[in-house]
Amino acid sequence: MEGVMHDIRNIVILTGAGISAESGLATFRGPDGLWEGHRVEDICTPQALARDARLVHDFYDARRAALAGVEPNPAHQALAALDAAWDGALLIVTQNVDDLHERAGAKRMLHMHGALLSALCAGCNKAVPWQGAMPPGSVCDGCGRPKLRPDIVFFGEMPYEMDRIEAALMRCDLFVSIGTSGAVYPAAGFVQTARHHGARTLELNLDPSAGSVYFHETRLGPASELVPAWVADVLGD
């Protein structure tokens, strides 16, 4: 569908915890953020998992349980509508581990930091759906070893699908960042990669971020308002 931005064909969208905030899921660095009550090094590192797997599993079990009580918000729904209607290339790269983009209907997307509803075998690297309670020592049905862990990319581990992401960033005409503080690399550097390859860059966020200086345009406000308005503009609604 030809939108009002006639020179835009290929879009990459990066989302962070802020897009899920209005659904009721905590962000990491805001008031009551997830990192306010925990130290990253105790929860979200390979060393933390080796030191106290029960603490790590409990943290992610609580976040998984919170998913049951929340719904996608208008920002997730608008991106899913764009995904369905846009006839150019589009890729939603989420840093989030919730399933709200999928539940809103997004298809052309990937989780670069893993997913709460997936378990990973530290023995054979097989990812399987997270089924109910999967305490430390749960057995992998692929290799039979008691090595299943949360399929979350911990600090110090390589995010998923970086080759696919970088190829999309180099090809895109428009890069949009939604609901992220720009605090964590490599995601925080995506805007510079896209801009270096000629893309226009737009940030939709509640507050200025560490990356705002790299965007051609920053719009401040809640995602549930900014994202539907931007999608309507792109689709020429």
Q: Binding site for substrate: what residues are annotated?
A: 60, 63
Size of residue set near ligand APR by CB under 6 A: 23
Residues 146-185 vs ligand APR: string with x where CB under 6 A?
Answer: ---------------------------------xxx-xx-
Residue of 113, 196, 197, 216 marked active site? 113
Query: Quick one: which H or E segment has residue 191?
Result: helix 190-196
The nearer residue to ligand APR, 90 or 188, going by C-beta atoms, is 188
The residues with which 121 forms a beta bridge, in sequence order, are 148
Q: How far is the CB of 10 from ligand APR (least distance, A)?
A: 23
Asked if 209 interacts with ligand APR (CB under 6 A), we say yes
Asked if 33 interacts with ligand APR (CB under 6 A), we say yes
CA dihedral 191, 107, 178, 150 (to 10 degrees): -90
Closest listed residue to residue 233, CA positions, set 23, 11, 14: 11
How far apart CA 204 and CA 179 sit, in angstroms, is 7
Counted residue by residue, the chain has a size of 237
Query: Quick one: which H or E segment has residue 206?
Result: none
Has 196 been annotated as catalytic? no
Asked if 111 interacts with ligand APR (CB under 6 A), we say no
Asked if 14 interacts with ligand APR (CB under 6 A), we say no
How far apart CA 20 and CA 172 sit, in angstroms, is 25
Asked if 5 interacts with ligand APR (CB under 6 A), we say no
Active site residues: 113
